[in-house]
């Protein structure tokens, strides 16, 4: 099925206007994020969807027929029958650590083609990067304790697979989403609901029924009526499992004072000879709550995080944008930029590269340069992923992306990982870019604002 119409109307109206005016220069657009919702860094994700889109981009007959009913030019619609993307795309690989203003993706193609891909790119990269970055913060807050993503029921409709994929890239260990397990190979995990417990005449009956059904992976939810009493009953069932050669894997707390209760439950389990039984906590958790629980010594081995993780709360969307930075006229590059009364909305001109400087195995700073500038001891972060419309990169597995994310994140100094007080990571502009920017601002001011 064609994805060509997964776009905003103004992309198509601009395409027709470009076509009619015979204005179709090679153009370069940058995807970047102006401001990070929380913390100082982003974990990039979603590139795989863009590559799939580029590989299959076309207008089907029914797409063209629909556009005909929207008063598009018949001759323009004829050109769409043979439409395909013929340009180049450079991108930071999925799982990269990125910072504000840096080009994360660079698209170069005839402007008609580059314009069309904008909406899809923003839709996929913004969402996946938001969730992967949120997951990274949650995982970091857990200080080595596993995070299970439990967010399917609160996910944004059919975006659940993309969101679960992003949480895995960000470091989550498993998901409750069974379809994600099947399609993406992510480990699945889960216990039971309160309804299962309350459906039985007695709480311990529900535990025994669950243990009989899943003797090799038995997790018991112990807070339905009273957490302490539930823990005591869990010990009884755990000992019964041991007599059958099996064992209780864990118990879950879902409400109340998770810190205090976890300590009491740990003592009950240990006193009952169940020192290896894990304690899982869930219930409206986020990175700040997890950080507090660990800070105050909670006896929790694993966290289940749902709504706040799968929706990126408290930020509903990532402010990633796609801006024109260069076109070719008469064989020469003409840098482009946007000015604004809001300084933060001013863009950077020219075809650019991002370089990363490391010191003692840790990120030290990034430098944004023009394409023809080199940085001593710097590593370029943008890699060619599409060349002349064809995929030109390896497609790593999801587990490899997740592992690469962990490696990249380990190189970010601890000060930039803080949840609330992280300073801005140093991102510098090269001399060439700084001078070009000043020249373009002066030119725009003279020709478009003051009309001198």
Given a contact cutoff of 8 angstroms between Cβ atoms, the answer to whether 298 and 282 are in contact is no
Residues 195 and 88 in one domain: no
In a domain, 160, yes or no: yes
Residues 335 and 206 in one domain: no
Q: What residues form DSSP beta bridges with 387?
A: 390
Residues 251 and 331 in one domain: no
Residues 205 and 222 in one domain: yes
Tokens standing for residue 403: 């592992």
Residues 142 and 279 in one domain: yes
In a domain, 315, yes or no: no
Given a contact cutoff of 8 angstroms between Cβ atoms, the answer to whether 6 and 119 are in contact is yes
Instruction: For 383-430, give the DSSP string.
Output: EEEEETTEE-S----HHHHHHHHHHHHHTS-GGGG-SS-PPPPPEEE-
In a domain, 207, yes or no: yes
Given a contact cutoff of 8 angstroms between Cβ atoms, the answer to whether 417 and 39 are in contact is yes
Residues 140 and 128 in one domain: no
Residues 125 and 209 in one domain: no
Tokens standing for residue 226: 């009273």
Rg of the chain over Cα atoms, rounded to whole angstroms, equals 26
Region of residue 117 (left: phi > 0; alpha: psi -120 to 50; beta: else) = alpha
How many structural domains are present in the chain?
A: 2
Residues 171 and 204 in one domain: yes
Which residue range forms the structural domain that includes residue 281? Answer: 135-310
Q: Which residues fall within 8 angstroms of residue 127, CB to CB, at 6 or more apart?
A: 46, 159, 162, 163, 166, 317, 318
In a domain, 3, yes or no: no
Residues 347 and 445 in one domain: yes
Residues 126 and 142 in one domain: no
Residues 180 and 280 in one domain: yes
Contacts from 86-90 at CB under 8 Å and sequence distance 24+? Answer: 86/110, 86/113, 86/388, 86/389, 87/26, 87/113, 87/114, 87/386, 87/388, 87/389, 88/384, 88/386, 88/387, 88/388, 89/50, 89/54, 89/384, 89/385, 89/386, 90/382, 90/383, 90/384, 90/385
Extract the residue ranges of the chain whose pLDDT is less than 70. 341-344, 450-452
Q: Please tell me the predicted confidence (pLDDT) of residue 343.
A: 64
pLDDT single digits (tens) 277-322: 999 999 999 999 999 999 999 999 999 999 999 999 998 899 999 9
SS3 sequence of 253-292:
ECCCCHHHHHHHHHHHHHHCCCCCCEEEECCCCCHHHHHH
Q: Please tell me the predicted confidence (pLDDT) of residue 58.
A: 97
In a domain, 296, yes or no: yes
DSSP class of residue 27 equals E
Q: Which residues fall within 8 angstroms of residue 34, CB to CB, at 6 or more apart?
A: 100, 101, 319, 321, 344, 345
Q: Please tell me the predicted confidence (pLDDT) of residue 316.
A: 87
């Amino acid at each position: 099925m064609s994805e060509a119409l997964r776009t905003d109307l103004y992309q198509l109206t601009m395409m027709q206007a470009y076509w009619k005016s015979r204005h179709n220069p090679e153009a370069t657009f940058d995807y970047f994020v102006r401001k990070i919702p929380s913390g100082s860094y982003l974990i990039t994700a979603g590139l795989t969807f863009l590559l799939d889109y580029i590989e299959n981009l076309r207008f089907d007959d029914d797409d063209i027929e629909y556009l005909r009913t929207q008063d598009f030019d018949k001759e323009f619609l004829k050109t769409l029958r043979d439409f395909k993307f013929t340009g180049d795309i450079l991108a930071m690989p999925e799982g990269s650590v990125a910072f504000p203003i840096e080009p994360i993706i660079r698209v170069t193609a005839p402007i008609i083609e580059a314009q069309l891909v904008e909406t899809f790119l923003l839709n996929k990269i913004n969402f996946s990067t938001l969730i992967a970055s949120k997951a990274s913060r949650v995982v970091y807050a857990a200080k080595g304790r596993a995070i299970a993503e439990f967010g399917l029921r609160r996910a944004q409709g059919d975006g659940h697979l993309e969101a679960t994929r992003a949480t895995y890239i960000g470091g989550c260990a498993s998901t409750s989403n069974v379809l994600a397990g099947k399609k993406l190979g992510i480990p699945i995990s889960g216990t039971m609901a309160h309804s299962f417990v309350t459906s039985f005449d007695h709480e311990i009956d529900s535990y025994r029924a669950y243990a009989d059904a899943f003797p090799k992976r038995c997790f018991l939810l112990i807070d339905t009526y009273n957490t302490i009493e539930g823990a005591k009953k869990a010990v009884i069932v755990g000992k019964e499992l041991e007599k059958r050669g099996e064992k209780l894997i864990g118990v879950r707390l879902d409400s109340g004072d998770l810190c205090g209760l976890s300590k009491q439950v740990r003592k009950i389990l240990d006193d009952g000879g169940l020192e290896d039984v894990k304690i899982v906590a869930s219930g409206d958790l986020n990175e700040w709550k997890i950080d507090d629980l660990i800070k105050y010594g909670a006896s929790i081995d694993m966290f289940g995080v749902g709504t706040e993780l799968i929706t990126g709360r408290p930020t509903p969307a990532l402010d990633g944008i796609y801006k024109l930075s260069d076109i070719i006229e008469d064989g020469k590059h003409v840098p482009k930029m946007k000015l604004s009364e809001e300084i933060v909305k001013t863009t950077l001109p020219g075809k650019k590269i991002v370089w990363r400087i490391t010191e003692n195995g840790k990120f030290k700073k990034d430098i944004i340069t023009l394409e023809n500038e080199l940085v001593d001891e710097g590593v370029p972060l943008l890699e060619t992923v599409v060349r002349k419309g064809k995929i030109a990169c390896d497609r790593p597995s999801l587990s490899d992306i997740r592992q690469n994310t962990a490696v990249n994140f380990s190189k970010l100094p601890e000060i930039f990982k803080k949840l609330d007080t992280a300073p801005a990571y140093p991102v510098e502009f090269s001399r060439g870019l700084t001078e070009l920017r000043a020249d373009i601002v002066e030119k725009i001011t003279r020709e478009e604002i003051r009309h001198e």
